[in-house]
């Protein structure tokens, strides 16, 4: 579908408060490791493990991305590192679709790879409160977040007419 893709979006985590929390935790752990190492304390191995885990979490969140492609045949999504290969959903497998405003906290408990109320309702989102809501023929629902709702609506309107 790549050659006939009419819409492409890549999202990353851009909320400043997420980075403030992570950076603060990294600094506190770094300071604790440095202090422990300097004073020769016994907590150093545990702090090194905690610091390593915090660093891995920070790097994962830095590199996480949601990619969306929309074309005349359907939609492709990839939510790295959780979904590493493109997942294709044909328009023929969808009962309906719409770009809508939603409440990430109330409907899905936040942002990320989220299950809504019931395992049949999944959201892939990183920021914002707009998304492409797909309702599948088998009753499952998938919401793919977008920061370009107007552009996506125009592309979907063009696709529906062809």
pLDDT in tens, 25-64: 888 888 888 888 788 777 778 888 888 888 888 888 888 9
Q: Tell me whether the omega of the peptide bond preceding residue 81 falls within 30 degrees of 0, making it cis.
A: yes
Residue with tokens 């294709």: 88
Under 8 Å between Cβ of 146 and 99? yes
Residues 95 and 156 in one domain: yes
Residues 149 and 92 in one domain: yes
| Residue 73 confidence (pLDDT) | 93
Residues 59 and 70 in one domain: no
Backbone conformation region of residue 130, classed left if phi is above 0, alpha if psi is from -120 to 50, else beta: beta
In this structure, the chain runs to a length of 162
What integer best gives the mean pLDDT of the chain? 88
Residues 50 and 83 in one domain: no
Domain span at residue 101 reads 2-11+66-161
Q: Which pTM value belongs to this model? A: 0.79
**CATH number of residue 153's parent domain:** 2.30.29
Look at the chain and report how many structural domains it folds into. Answer: 2
Residue range 110-118: mean pLDDT, rounded: 79
- Tell me how far apart the terminal alpha carbons of the chain are, to the nearest angstrom: 16
Sign of CA pseudo-dihedral 36, 17, 147, 96: positive
- Bridge partners, residue 108, by sequence: none
| Residue 118 confidence (pLDDT) | 65
Residues 124 and 85 in one domain: yes
Residues 56 and 126 in one domain: no
Residue 1 predicted with pLDDT over 70: no
């Amino acid at each position: 579908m790549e050659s006939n893709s009419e819409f492409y979006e890549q999202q990353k985590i851009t909320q400043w408060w997420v980075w403030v929390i992570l950076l603060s935790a990294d600094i506190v752990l770094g300071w604790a490791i440095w202090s422990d190492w300097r004073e020769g304390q016994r907590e150093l191995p545990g702090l090194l493990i905690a610091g390593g885990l915090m660093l891995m979490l920070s790097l994962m969140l830095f590199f996480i991305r949601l990619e969306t492609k929309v074309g005349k045949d359907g939609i492709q999504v990839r939510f790295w590192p959780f979904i590493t290969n493109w997942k294709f959903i044909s328009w023929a497998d969808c009962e309906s679709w719409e770009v809508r405003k939603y409440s990430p906290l109330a409907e899905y408990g936040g942002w990320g790879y989220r299950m809504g109320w019931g395992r049949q309702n999944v959201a892939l989102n990183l920021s914002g409160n707009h998304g492409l809501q797909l309702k599948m023929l088998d009753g499952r629902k998938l919401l793919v977040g977008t920061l370009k709702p107007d552009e996506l609506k125009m592309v979907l309107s063009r696709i529906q007419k062809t």
